[in-house]
Amino acid sequence: MTGELQQAVDYIRSKSDLKPGIGIVLGSGLGSFVDIIENKTKIPTPQIPHYPVSTVPGHEGYVILGTLQGIPLFIVQGRTHYYEGYTAGKITFVIRIMAESGIRLLIVTNAAGALNSRLKPGDLMLITDHINNMFCNPLTGPLRYGGLRFPDMSDPYSSKYHHLVEEIALKNRVSLKRGVLYVSSGPSYETAAEVRMIAKIGADAASMSTVPEVIVAKQAGMDVIGISCITNMGTGVSSKKLSHSEVTKIAEKVRIKFLKLIKGIINEINRYYHNT
């Protein structure tokens, strides 16, 4: 562990005695999940040594340790993005903190635009794979944190959980679709021509986050479950102009079913880990 990482981990440990095994990164407009967390310790990210500060509306900037129905969780409310001017390594610093803190499962969420007409604003999508078009990788350069130089990415969104997550969605009457996530660096939205190209190469939804975090999580040996909240149709799929305020508004509208799904996943996965 590097000195910077040690300082960040030690600072968080000084604020809470919880030892969570499940970590959650909350996407745009999905931060209200923390309202149902109990026994929570909210740590403003500017207070954490060497932690990059979020500058985007809808990303509040807290690390939260707390419990949900007795299950300890490590929650990131307000991720940082590559387009904010940070390196890919810096925006995944929190995943390194999670790994050193004992997180075995990462639940990563985001707001995404639909490229496939079977997806509509307000839908939730189980991410089954991704296409990285950010032109960056958080593992570029020296391996400061150890791990494999060439980690396998044949199963980035742990397929062993896909059927279980779909069963949880069905049980809670939450419509859940599967899809491939395309990620670019942003912050501008895609043009209509880019949307047509992205759809042709096999993507169902587009976002500006998630992939760097997943790459680091897999290198660190974590399981990953990814959920996209579909907040808009891609440019050209719909004539409606895109805005970040509209994205966060739609994400807030799906709050109830999002909470049902994530709560169900946490309960079932916690049971899974206790039985293995």
Catalytic residue among 100, 232, 251, 270: 232
The verdict on whether 189 is a catalytic residue reads no
The verdict on whether 50 is a catalytic residue reads no
Catalytic residue among 1, 244, 252, 268: 244
Q: Which CB contacts under 8 angstroms, 24+ apart, belong to 176-179?
A: 176/124, 176/125, 176/126, 176/261, 177/118, 177/119, 177/123, 177/124, 177/125, 177/126, 178/125, 178/126, 178/128, 179/116, 179/119, 179/125, 179/126, 179/127, 179/128, 179/203, 179/204, 179/205, 179/228
Identify the CA nearest to 94 among candidates 219, 216, 185: 216
Catalytic residue among 116, 207, 209, 228: 209
The two structure tokens encoding residue 161: 């959980």
The verdict on whether 98 is a catalytic residue reads no
Catalytic residue among 208, 217, 222, 233: 208
Inter-CA distances, 254 with 75, 122, 123, 233, 259, Å? 19, 6, 8, 16, 9
The verdict on whether 232 is a catalytic residue reads yes
Q: How many angstroms separate the CA atoms of 251 and 110, rounded?
A: 9
Catalytic residue among 51, 81, 125, 182: 81
Catalytic residue among 32, 50, 60, 84: 84
Catalytic residue among 111, 169, 217, 233: 111
The verdict on whether 208 is a catalytic residue reads yes
- What does DSSP assign to residue 83? G
Instruction: Count how many Cα atoms sit within 13 Å of the Cα of residue 146 in the half-sphere of its side chain.
Output: 7
The verdict on whether 28 is a catalytic residue reads yes
Catalytic residue among 8, 16, 28, 251: 28
Do the Cβ atoms of 77 and 26 come closer than 8 Å?
A: yes
Catalytic residue among 1, 60, 83, 267: 83
The verdict on whether 81 is a catalytic residue reads yes
Q: How many angstroms separate the CA atoms of 74 and 67, rounded?
A: 9
Catalytic residue among 8, 51, 54, 59: 59
Residue 160: partners with Cβ closer than 8 Å, 6 or more residues away? 223
The verdict on whether 267 is a catalytic residue reads no
Q: Which residues are designated catalytic?
A: 28, 59, 81, 83-84, 111, 208-209, 232, 244
